[in-house]
Amino acid sequence: MGIFFLPVLLLSSTLILPSAPTDTITPSQTLAAGQSLISAQGTFELGFFNAAAPSSSYLGIWYHKIPIRKIVWVANCKSPITAQNATLFLTTNGNILITAGGIRTVWSTNTSSTKIPSLKLLDSGNLVLTDGGSNAIIWESFSDPSDTFLPEMELGLDLRRHLERKLTSWKSPDDPSPGGYTYGVRRTGSPELVLKNGSNIEFRTGLWTGVSWSGIPQMISDAHFIYTFVVQPDQIFYKYESINKSVMSFITVDPSGHIQRLVWLDGQWRQYCTLQLNNCDRYGTCGEFGICNVYYSEGVCKCLQGFEPRTMVDWTLMDYSGGCKRRTALACSGGGDGFVKVSGVKSPDTENVTVAAGVGLEGCRALCLGKCSCVAYVMVGENCLWWTGKLMDIKEFAQGTQGGVDLYLRLAAADLDSAESASSMRKHIVAVVIPLGLAFIIFSCFGIYTLRKKRKQGVGHGYVKDSRGNEMELPVFDMSAIEIATNNFSDENKLGQGGFGPVYKGHLEDGQEIAVKRLSRNSGQGLDEFMNEVRLISKLQHRNLVRLLGCCIHGEERLLIYEYMPNKSLDSFIFDKAGRCQLSWQKRFDIILGIARGLVYLHQDSRLKIIHRDLKG
């Protein structure tokens, strides 16, 4: 009888919130559609909102002062409200309820309190239910995150309350129901953050080094945030704080599984960073005992020293998932095994790692050698971490990058000898090459100085050779000039993505607009293909063909610099309802004739006979 009477009592005794903004609800008040709570300093707002389907509403929290609404938390993400009169209640016994039509309970915290409770929205974005007597927290929204990780929020495990705090992506940008991706702490010998699609790992951070995750070295140079990772017997959690509290920023997992940090800047949400930078951030790209680096000259994967591809045919076809196998089995007992140092890498998957506290480097080496199952070890401070079984998901960072760890890989004596021989040979080569190189540099300096004097806004003329030694003279751009022109290849300057890489808009110092095609390192297009494109297009001169202005080769970077076409691609007009109206029939006829003239030139009139495929008209 008492249970049935409770909703009726609530409906008859509660009061509607006054119109003046407030940050708190008590059991004598309700929150209905069209009303909201606003945190004390006006940072966040709590209220009901509609998703993609106008008939579905949710209770959520968003930034109050920002015109572009960003929902950071959703209460009833699994139970959209389809009826009228959605209402938020706080019962006298400390339970939060969302009802639909004044009858059906859509969502509840299932909490209780012995004192008169209150519900308050904080300026951190945390919705807190407290006991009116002691102000002890009964429930908080930070313990039940949605897809957004806010400053001061904790991701991790509360082992006392068997509580897991993790991010869950939305189903789609307009549907806050749970999607397929989750991001949170995985409890292993050395816990780390992992992104999962269902039960499959898509990305992981690597172990915590004390200042950053070993797989995210850029955290070390980030002066805008303070990162903390705590591992204790009863709790494991990760959090961050903004040094400048006025900057609005958050981390989110989008419906496609991308983890990114966004910052409110110049009237829009801008990407500050993303954790999945390239293929090497995809879990297990190179299989077991493989190591990934997008700067390798051939492919992105190679086997660790002392290992070889398990299936060479697959590796030739750039399928590295099968991983690598040992060339020589470990001796284990009886000696003969040793270690080779692999510097500056993201630590292997920590699923099969064991931690020995207070062990120095030599002690860690001895510990690993004394266990037949140990295949590698890492030192983090005074802690020794050693692996058994397979090593998975190792990423090698560019030389000179801060961060990462040094992995000591266990090898058989035969593989150690070959490694030492290779190292000795490298030393001899260096001893011979350095004196010769110095002499070459001295004689080359004058020529380089002369060439650079002739350059204007980073452009000069020089001979560029392909891999066959063929020479051709064409404008050569400095990498620094291109970086300045494209604002360091910023997303705002990106025009699109082609088959072999992205294209960026740029402005040279003299005001000329350019389009820069940046060839992807894993596109499969080698130096020969690159030089072939340069050679062909530089010889093609026609008013209906985009003109090649020059190129840039800088390390592994290969760039083509074209004239910029301000009117974009023809399909952006044809397939756009507003754009197609700008094309009169006369204009369409002129475009068709222009395309035909360009094709005739390529096929018949140019010095080179070319079958049109991917040359832009």
Catalytic machinery residues: 614
What is the edge-to-edge ordering of all strands in the sheet holding 268-274? 148-149, 249-253, 259-265, 268-274
C-beta atoms surrounding 558 within 10 Å = 25
* Closest C-alpha among 501, 507, 561 to residue 534: 561
Is residue 194 within 8 A of residue 183, CB to CB? The reply is yes
Pull the structure tokens for residue 505.
């808009």
Q: Measured between alpha carbons, how far is 375 from 220 in angstroms, rounded to an integer?
A: 29
Is residue 186 within 8 A of residue 193, CB to CB? The reply is yes
Phi and psi at 161, nearest 5°, equal -100, 5
Phi and psi at 75, nearest 5°, equal -75, -60
Q: What single-letter DSSP state applies at residue 398?
A: P
| Per-residue CA distances from 225 to 183, 228, 444 (Å) | 20, 10, 45
C-beta atoms surrounding 220 within 10 Å = 15
Burial class of residue 469 in the structure, from the number of CB atoms within 10 Å of its CB (0-12 exposed, 13-18 middle, 19+ buried): exposed
Listed in sequence order, the DSSP H helices in 326-478 are 361-369, 413-453
Strands (E), 26-160: 29-32, 36-38, 44-50, 57-63, 71-74, 87-90, 96-100, 104-108, 117-121, 127-131, 137-140, 148-149, 155-158
Is residue 108 within 8 A of residue 138, CB to CB? The reply is no
Q: Which residue has the tokens 């961050």?
A: 240
Is residue 126 within 8 A of residue 142, CB to CB? The reply is yes
Q: Measured between alpha carbons, how far is 461 from 550 in angstroms, rounded to an integer?
A: 9
Amino acid at 303: C
Helix (H, G, I), strand (E, B) or coil at 259: strand
Angle at 263 between CA 501 and CA 141, to 5 degrees: 120
Is residue 501 within 8 A of residue 558, CB to CB? The reply is no
Is residue 566 within 8 A of residue 507, CB to CB? The reply is no
